[in-house]
Amino acid sequence: MKLLKKYFLPSDHVKHFYSITPEYLKDRNIKAVITDLDNTLVGFDEPYANDAVIKWFKSLNEHDIKVTIVSNGNKMRVSEFCNPHDIDYIFSAKKPLGRAFRKAIRMMNVDKNETVMVGDQLMTDIFGANRTGLESILVLPVKKKDGWATVLNRKIERRIMKYFDRKGLIKWGE
């Protein structure tokens, strides 16, 4: 059970990405955010950033907090989302492998202890961040529906989340 906590327990958890404010990040000495795209910022079937995402990007930028999207999605999906907002990205990231996380840190020219990963999946986002030595923040998926590749991950994730809930390690509240 120690391995479950080591690899799958996020450093923190919030319901929505936009709850992660610049003040929250600065209080933790975070200067850079790596974020997942699908079901973290928008639904996997939503091609463009909505007002909440745009406002969040702008707020982080105004506080000199760097952002890079690291997604397992394909180039067309990720670039069409990121390019209009001048957001750096890595597509086909193969999360939870660490290579894309390390590349994002190099791209932003920050130390890993100044970087946090934000994502909606324990099996890819949190596991990958924790294996790489990054802080991690789990958010609830923005949609109940997932892409086909995520369905199996969610089944495994539910079992891990039940364990964390029983141990009082993750509480979402009302």
CATH of the domain at 150: 3.40.50.1000
Q: Give the long-range contacts of residues 116-119, CB within 8 A, separation 24 or more.
A: 116/11, 116/25, 116/28, 116/30, 116/32, 116/33, 116/34, 117/33, 117/34, 117/35, 117/36, 117/70, 118/17, 118/20, 118/33, 118/34, 118/35, 118/36, 118/40, 119/35, 119/36, 119/40
Residue 94 lies in a domain: yes
Residue 171 lies in a domain: no
CA atoms of 112 and 109, how far apart (whole Å): 10
Q: pLDDT value at position 147?
A: 66
Residue 23 lies in a domain: yes
Helix H or strand E segment including 89: strand 88-90
Q: Which amino acid appears at position 162 of this protein?
A: K
Q: pLDDT value at position 3?
A: 83
CA atoms of 156 and 154, how far apart (whole Å): 5
**Length reported for the chain:** 174
Total count of domains within the chain: 1
Residue 103 lies in a domain: yes
Residue 120 lies in a domain: yes
Residue 173 lies in a domain: no
The whole-model pTM stands at 0.93
pLDDT, block means (10 residues), the chain with 174 residues: 88 96 98 97 94 98 98 96 97 97 98 97 96 97 76 86 91 63
Q: Helix or strand or coil: residue 38?
A: strand
Residue 174 lies in a domain: no
8 A C-beta contact, residue 10 and residue 92: no
Residue 69 lies in a domain: yes
Q: pLDDT value at position 44?
A: 86
Alpha helix segments (H runs only) across the chain: 2-8, 22-27, 51-62, 75-82, 99-108, 127-132, 151-166
Q: Domain range spanning residue 125?
A: 2-166
